[in-house]
Amino acid sequence: MKNILVLCTGNSCRSQIAEGYLRHFVGDKANVYSAGIETHGVNPRAIAIMKEDGIDIAAHTSNHVDEYMNIDFDLILTVCDNAKENCPYFPSKAKRFHYNFPDPAKANGSEEEIMAEFRRVREMIKNYCSEFIATHL
Annotation marks residue 129 as catalytic: no
Is residue 88 scored above 60 in pLDDT?
no
Q: Closest by alpha carbon to 77, among 59, 61, 90?
A: 90
C-alpha separations of 103 from 6, 12, 43, 64, 112 in Å: 15, 10, 12, 18, 16
Q: Domains in the chain and their CATH numbers? A: 2-136 (3.40.50.2300)
Annotation marks residue 80 as catalytic: yes
pLDDT of residue 93: 83
pLDDT of residue 38: 87
pLDDT of residue 9: 86
Burial class (CB in 10 A: 0-12, 13-18, 19+), 39: middle
Which of 69-73, 84-88, 104-108 is least confident?
Answer: 84-88
What is the average pLDDT value for the chain, to the nearest integer?
92
What's the pTM? 0.93
Catalytic residue among 48, 71, 87, 114: 87
pLDDT average, residue stretch 12-16: 95
Annotation marks residue 13 as catalytic: no
How many C-beta atoms surround the C-beta of residue 25 within 10 A? Answer: 18
Catalytic residue among 4, 5, 6, 8: 8
Which of 7-21, 86-100, 118-132 is least confident?
Answer: 86-100
- Per-residue pLDDT band for 137 (boundaries 50, 70, 90) equals confident
Catalytic residue among 5, 42, 80, 129: 80
- Per-residue pLDDT band for 74 (boundaries 50, 70, 90) equals very high
